[in-house]
Amino acid sequence: MKKEEILKALEELRKGKERKFNQTVDLIINLKNFDIKKESINLFLSLPHKIKEVKICAFLNKKIEGIDSVTKAEFDKYKNKKLLKKLVKSYDFFISSADLMPQVAANFGKYLGPLGKMPSPQLGIIKEENEVEIKKIVKKFEKIIRIKSKEPSLKFSVGKENMKDEDTAENIITAYNAILNALPKKKENIRSVMVKLTMSKPFKLEI
């Protein structure tokens, strides 16, 4: 996939009707020869450029200033389902101290798991519970997107309208290459690739 072609596509999308909000740039990868029941894509991708602000909550043994958290002492409070559901909806991602993971799974897993918000070994386990380590993990999440195949078409955000086209193009190339490498038959599994703004029609990219 050529960067020049992506930049041309983004330029064309910008010629569309102006909207009163900052539209998202979505990448759509349509699959073929891919059995959704037997094969799957489940990736955490780190993009070169930040695409959005994320809200993160940490499960910790003690409070740390400047970090939204639920401490071990507060776990029992979330036996109240209303409070638990509100907590889960309030954050994009959850991270946890390694030693608390069994209790986090027991107390919160039922609600975090189905939404893909459960702290994972791939990203989200805190080995040293201190401000520097936690903020380092939080910063990584600002460039992370999760891609999970639920149907033979993958659609996910790779940028915002107010970003530089160069940065969005680099995000697109990174995401496309990661998915290409994760597919069992590589390019043979890709039917087409499209890019679009939230309110625009898709623009097809050559692959």
Residue 131 class from Cβ within 10 Å (0-12 exposed, 13-18 middle, 19+ buried)? exposed
Strands (E), the chain: 24-31, 42-46, 56-60, 69-71, 93-97, 125-126, 144-148, 153-160, 190-197, 203-205
CATH 3.30.190.20 for the 3-51+144-205 domain, yes or no:
yes
Give the global pTM.
Answer: 0.76
Confidence at residue 144, expressed as pLDDT on a 0 to 100 scale: 84
Q: Quick: pLDDT tens for 26-71.
A: 999 999 999 988 888 888 888 999 888 889 999 999 999 889 999 9
Domain definitions of the chain by residue range:
3-51+144-205, 56-141
Q: In this prediction, what percent of the chain has a pLDDT beyond 70?
A: 100
Q: Please state which architecture CATH assigns to domain 56-141.
A: 3-Layer(aba) Sandwich (3.40)
What does the block give as tokens for 192? 């087409």
